[in-house]
Amino acid sequence: MRCLSWVVVLFAALIAAPPSARAQDPRGYNSVLDESLEARVFPLFSYFLALPAWQESLAADPALQRLALERAARVPAEACTAAPQCITDAWVWTDEDIKLVDLRLRSLVKQSNLADALIKQHMRPSARFARHEAVNDADLLSAAWQDAARGNNRVIAVYGQGKAPMYPKIDSMIFDTTSAEFPNLMRVHSVATASLTQATDIFFQPAVRFAAGLLMMNERTEAAAFRPLLEGVNAATVKEISNTNWARYAYPAILVFGHGPEDPQSGTGPLAHVRLRLAAQMFVRGLAPFVIVSGGNVHPNRTKSNESVEMKRLLVELHNIPSNRILIEPHARHTTTNLRNSARLLFATGVPTDRPSLIVSDHLTIQYIKSNVLFDRNMREMGVQPGRVEAGPDKFTALFTPDRTAFYVEVTDPLDP
């Protein structure tokens, strides 16, 4: 009996223990979310499910119950016209839906226990909603809900209806929407998703399943790859970071951004080789104790090669950089998210962020990274500035001081939110 009591105590402790920090989280914030595709793309919905008080309140709300039934009734069980548009449109959040949910959320968040559980303990400290952090609690929740609904609709538009994403060359759906088979494909997915609905579902869960299913069918699940990022291939480097004497170095880290090839035989593009040579030389000079390589599965379209993984391999094999001195950031698809995701990794791993790290690149790309063109693009595509970029000590470098707004989740970019 005594042994059994210790087992019970240990199990209870494990259940009560806060989850470990992740690369998606500011250091010191312990997330209640998992690292599933749905949680990565739609964090607000996942918070609702992870927090019992919110789950119960949303499930018991009569207006939201009615909305769930109305939305379920829109989904055609048989053929409809004009397919496939009529099939996918049934899953879209309408303006009326969005307004109704907004009113109910604003009402619920007036309850102090609900506001504290969600907003004070998670939404604000997670920085996932940092673009809206200056507003009051009700407006913050409203903005987050509208972002989530808009993101859900965006996934359906791009990966269920074939509308062009921001970067059609690398992010488009994989199906031919004009083919005779496509309407049936959407119909099968719709009927199957509807069948998964349970009596215990909260109003948003069927739509999230439909959107996540579209991403899976299109083989666009990059957002959930390489998780948990601070473990696995990065674990040894994270351990080294915790033991580093930062005062010995001019910069906390060297950041190198990928250049994806269009040649499917190549692991990385030619400019990446130039950047890696420069970065390796600066590492050997002792300017920084770590190198962060950033780049996802980007070029050519639907490549299986990951830029950051390939860059780390090249740094180790060709430039003799120790493996445990390299962090990979394997999700970024553009220069904008190279900056943002590197900022997240700097914060999450405990690398000093009160002084700048060193971006190393070819001299032409550095000019672009320091330009107002990229500054404006950051705001247009991500909604935030992930940090401050300034001129570096030479033509191959720029200084980057990260900002915690980098943790803001842009839900309209489901491949790397």
Model confidence over 153-164: pLDDT tens digits? 999 999 999 999
Does position 51 have pLDDT exceeding 60, yes or no?
A: yes
Does position 47 have pLDDT exceeding 90, yes or no?
A: yes
Does position 199 have pLDDT exceeding 80, yes or no?
A: yes
Residues 259 and 134 placed together within one structural domain of the fold: no
Residues 257 and 318 placed together within one structural domain of the fold: yes
The four Cα atoms 308, 310, 314, 317 give a dihedral, to 10 degrees, of 120
Q: How confident is the model at residue 23 (pLDDT cuts 50, 70, 90)?
A: confident
Residues 254 and 208 placed together within one structural domain of the fold: no
Structure tokens at 236: 């040894």
Model confidence over 278-295: pLDDT tens digits? 999 999 999 999 999 999
- How high is the pLDDT of residue 7? 34
Beta bridge partners of 327: 292
Residue at token pair 């240990």: 10
- How high is the pLDDT of residue 3? 40
Residue 414, in any domain of the structure: no
Residues 310 and 394 placed together within one structural domain of the fold: yes
Does position 322 have pLDDT exceeding 80, yes or no?
A: yes
Residue 99, in any domain of the structure: yes
Residue 358, in any domain of the structure: yes
Residues 246 and 208 placed together within one structural domain of the fold: no
Q: How confident is the model at residue 21 (pLDDT cuts 50, 70, 90)?
A: low
Model confidence over 209-240: pLDDT tens digits? 999 999 999 999 999 999 999 999 999 999 99
Q: Which of 177, 206, 223 is the last residue of a domain?
A: 223
Residues 110 and 187 placed together within one structural domain of the fold: yes
Question: Residue 244 maps to which CATH number?
Answer: 3.40.50.620
Average pLDDT for 326-348:
98
Beta bridge partners of 401: 388
Q: What is the mean pLDDT of the chain?
A: 94
Distance separating alpha carbons of residues 192 and 187, to the nearest angstrom: 8
Q: Which of 223, 252, 280 is the last residue of a domain?
A: 223
Residue 416, in any domain of the structure: no
Residues 139 and 68 placed together within one structural domain of the fold: yes
- How high is the pLDDT of residue 16? 34
Structure tokens at 289: 């104790």
Residue 417, in any domain of the structure: no
Give whole-number Cα distances, 46 to 43, 123, 131, 361, in Å. Answer: 5, 11, 19, 38
**Sheet (strand 254-257) strand order:** 326-329, 291-294, 254-257, 357-360, 397-402, 387-391
Q: Which domain holds residue 236?
A: 226-406
Residue 296, in any domain of the structure: yes
Residues 86 and 180 placed together within one structural domain of the fold: yes
Residue at token pair 């918070």: 47
Q: Which of 180, 206, 223 is the last residue of a domain?
A: 223
Q: How confident is the model at residue 356 (pLDDT cuts 50, 70, 90)?
A: very high
Residues 155 and 205 placed together within one structural domain of the fold: yes
DSSP characters over 204-236: THHHHHHHHHHHHHTT--GGGTT-STTSGGGHH
Residue 270, in any domain of the structure: yes
CA 233 to chain centre: 19
Residue 308, in any domain of the structure: yes
Q: Supply φ then ψ for residue 324, to 5 degrees.
A: -80, 15
Residues 42 and 77 placed together within one structural domain of the fold: yes
Cβ(337)–Cβ(399) below 8 Å = no
- How high is the pLDDT of residue 259? 95
From the list 9, 7, 31, 27, the residue with the least C-alpha distance to 18 is 31
- How high is the pLDDT of residue 1? 38
Model confidence over 55-68: pLDDT tens digits? 999 999 999 999 99
Model confidence over 264-283: pLDDT tens digits? 888 899 999 999 999 999 99
- How high is the pLDDT of residue 22? 77
- How high is the pLDDT of residue 24? 84
- How high is the pLDDT of residue 18? 35
Does position 136 have pLDDT exceeding 50, yes or no?
A: yes
Residues 168 and 267 placed together within one structural domain of the fold: no
Model confidence over 178-191: pLDDT tens digits? 999 999 999 999 99
Task: Look up residue 18 and give its DSSP letter.
Answer: P
Residue 381 burial (CB count, 10 A): 17
Beta bridge partners of 329: 294
Beta carbons within 8 Å of 298's beta carbon, 6+ residues apart: 170, 258, 260, 307, 333
Name residue 146's amino acid: Q
| Radius of gyration, alpha carbons of the chain | 23
The count of domains in the chain is 2
Does position 263 have pLDDT exceeding 90, yes or no?
A: no
Residues 238 and 195 placed together within one structural domain of the fold: no
- How high is the pLDDT of residue 371? 98
In percent, how much of the chain has pLDDT > 70?
Answer: 95
Write the burial class of residue 392 (CB in 10 Å: 0-12 exposed, 13-18 middle, 19+ buried). buried
